[in-house]
Chains A and B, each alone.
Chain A
């Protein structure tokens, strides 16, 4: 069974640009959550999607958005990039939102210059 796949692995963008990150969950998993990881801050919850609907959202500005497709693949978008958006973005895959077992991808390292 393939694991959680995040693409791209690395990304360099300029301030003001926008970026789209992708996460393909484990086959059969319909819940995808996104986290931002920065040094000293740990992992901060961005949002969770289940069956193409956003179920929960963390405390991030509206520049951060996401969506989920019918095949459970999820994308997150960050518009008007700021230097502070530089981080590792991780997604977690679960069978459903009530399941406590989560599997993480290897993340996308975003650098904003």
Chain B
């Protein structure tokens, strides 16, 4: 079975500072994707960043980057130059690419950016 663990239920960061959200996962699969989704108060899940497990290079999307440690099964999200609009729930998710392709989500981290 696949599990995703986010050990930080809540975090806060000062505007313009950097924050790192943690995620670990457990799987016996070799071929999979990892994701970070953002859920603002509007409730719509928005893809922040995606990492393919077979790629060693860490994914980057503007102010968002990941630290993917495959052996340690760790997938943390770094948000640089935090903005007020980054306030949201952040979910780490795992997707295996076997016959049944489905997401496994963590329990989320509520991030508040303080002006």
* Contact surface of A with B, Cβ cutoff 8 Å: 33, 35, 40-45, 48, 55-56, 58, 88, 90, 92, 97-98, 100-102, 104-107, 109
Contact = CB atoms under 8 A, between A and B. Distances in A.
Contacts, number: 54
Contacts of B104: 45
A100 B50 contact: yes
Contact of A105 (B37, B44, B95, B101): B44
Nearest to B42: A106
B105 interface: yes
B91 interface: yes
B102 to A, nearest CB: 5
A45 B103 contact: yes
12 contacts: A33-B102, A35-B103, A42-B6, A42-B91, A43-B93, A44-B105, A58-B102, A90-B43, A100-B95, A102-B47, A104-B37, A104-B46
Given A100-B33, A106-B43, A43 B105 contact: yes
B101 A40 contact: no
A43 B44 contact: no
Query: What is the predominant secondary structure among interface residues of chain A facing chain B?
Result: strand
Contact of B103 (A33, A98, A107): A33
A26 B20 CA distance: 33
A58 B91 CA distance: 19
B71 to A, nearest CB: 22
A56 B100 CA distance: 7
Interface string B62-79: 000000000000000000
A42 B50 contact: no
A58 B107 CA distance: 17
Contacts of B45: 90, 92, 104
A43 B103 contact: yes
Contacts of B91: 42-43
B104 to A, nearest CB: 7
B106 A42 contact: yes
Contacts of B4: 42
Contacts of A97: 101
